[in-house]
Amino acid sequence: MKPIQLSEQQVLKKIQKRLKKVIKSYEKVIVQLESQLEKINQLPDQQEVATLRETMLIGLNQSRKFLEKANEDHKKVMAQRAKLQFIAY
């Protein structure tokens, strides 16, 4: 393996590891938001509850988008690592 490729592999491995942590974090956030939203939905409808519900739904949707993007980035990094390994051998 060329030294440059080795360093690229190491960088990609670190990026991949970080993305895994990010993905796990977003998954936890989504589960927590869904759980809290279920509790909010059981409360009687009032202006404050409706505003809170709307805010939580926005946060949940954003978290899902970020999770999707992190998963896409993770797949790209894995593909790049596989490509570098294939080139190296």
* Residue located via tokens 């519900």: 53
pLDDT for 53-68, tens place per residue? 999 999 999 999 999 9
Model pTM score: 0.79
Query: Where are the domains positioned within the chain?
Result: 3-88
User: Considering Cα of 52, then 55, then 61, then 66, what sign does the dihedral take?
Assistant: negative
Q: How confident is residue 6, by pLDDT bands cut at 50, 70 and 90? A: low
Do 10 and 65 touch, CB atoms closer than 8 A?
Answer: no
Give the integer Cα–Cα distance in Å for 6 and 10.
6
Give the integer Cα–Cα distance in Å for 5 and 45.
59
pLDDT for 8-40, tens place per residue? 888 999 999 999 999 999 999 999 999 999 999
**45 DSSP 8-state letter:** P
